[in-house]
């Protein structure tokens, strides 16, 4: 397990049973290639998905007592999807530790969203079996939610720019303005950073692969800042403090 010491450090969890982590990293392609019965991470993925759903459902249920089933379900779906899980797996460096077949390796399996998302859920399942529910819960709240920031407002906005404009119209007819303040990365993989301003004040910043995405992230960050943490009530009074950039 020396090869997995770095991964366990990044995960913030040390396994009592190292074989569970190895199993969580074993892609189904290994069994398909060898043509013999080999345990892979599919069963752990099934378990991890259930644990993740339960932990996030409880978190949303407790933080938003005034919201019904519909908004809470949408919020959970926004937090738990293949793209978001794969992104978090990449941040943890899971891909380089995957145990793949030669064919899957040759076809870019280490960077495939489906493989990364499934493995992330399998790791959650392994943590649950190894350390119990509370260990899995702490892992999720510490290592999963930090990718999205604290869950302080329901993340169900399809149009954060429109929502922000509507919120600000309660105090001023002036529309929010967006500015591109930075562009980084190579031409084929640019990252834009935008700020959103209202009445001469910077409300928030956001980052994205396009100007539109960066503006949406800035609007969402501003909404999180301006809204009360619970109850769904708003306080449309712009602040001058800039929150951390969203990715």
3-state secondary structure of 246: strand
Distance CA 89, CA 72 (A): 24
Both tokens of residue 112?
Answer: 């495939």
Q: Is there a catalytic annotation at residue 166?
A: no
Q: Is there a catalytic annotation at residue 121?
A: yes
Distance CA 8, CA 160 (A): 36
- Taking residue 159's Cβ as centre, other Cβ atoms within 10 Å add up to 11
Q: If residue 187 lies in a helix (H) or strand (E), which one and from where to where? A: none
Backbone angles phi, psi at 191, to 5 degrees: -125, 125
Question: What separation in angstroms does the CA of 220 have from each of 51, 117, 151, 213?
Answer: 28, 24, 12, 11
Candidate list 45, 49, 143, 202, residue with the active-site label: 49
**Which residue intervals of 41-159 are DSSP H helices?**
42-63, 69-79, 82-91, 102-106, 113-131, 133-139
Candidate list 104, 121, 130, 193, residue with the active-site label: 121
Catalytic positions are 49, 121
């Amino acid at each position: 397990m020396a090869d997995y010491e770095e991964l366990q450090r990044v995960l913030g969890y040390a396994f009592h049973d190292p074989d569970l982590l190895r199993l969580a990293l074993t892609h189904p392609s290994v069994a398909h290639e060898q043509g013999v019965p080999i345990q892979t991470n599919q069963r752990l993925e099934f378990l991890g998905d259930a644990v993740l759903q339960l932990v996030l459902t409880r978190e949303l249920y407790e933080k938003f007592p005034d919201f019904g089933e519909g908004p809470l379900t949408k919020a959970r779906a926004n937090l738990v999807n293949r793209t978001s899980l794969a992104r978090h797996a990449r941040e943890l460096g899971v891909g380089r530790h995957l145990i793949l077949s030669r064919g899957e390796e040759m076809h870019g399996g280490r960077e495939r969203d489906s493989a990364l998302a499934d493995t992330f859920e399998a790791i959650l399942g392994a943590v649950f079996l190894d350390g119990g529910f509370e260990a899995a819960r702490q892992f999720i709240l510490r290592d999963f939610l930090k990718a999205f920031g604290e869950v302080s407002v329901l993340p169900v906005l399809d149009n954060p720019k429109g929502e922000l404009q509507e919120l600000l119209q309660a105090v001023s007819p002036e529309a929010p303005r967006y500015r591109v303040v930075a562009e980084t990365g190579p031409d084929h993989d640019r990252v834009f950073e935008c700020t959103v301003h209202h009445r001469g004040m910077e409300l928030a910043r956001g980052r994205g692969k396009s100007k539109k995405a960066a503006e949406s992230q800035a609007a969402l960050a501003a909404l999180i800042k301006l809204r009360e943490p619970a109850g769904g009530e708003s306080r449309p009074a712009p602040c001058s403090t800039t929150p951390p950039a969203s990715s």
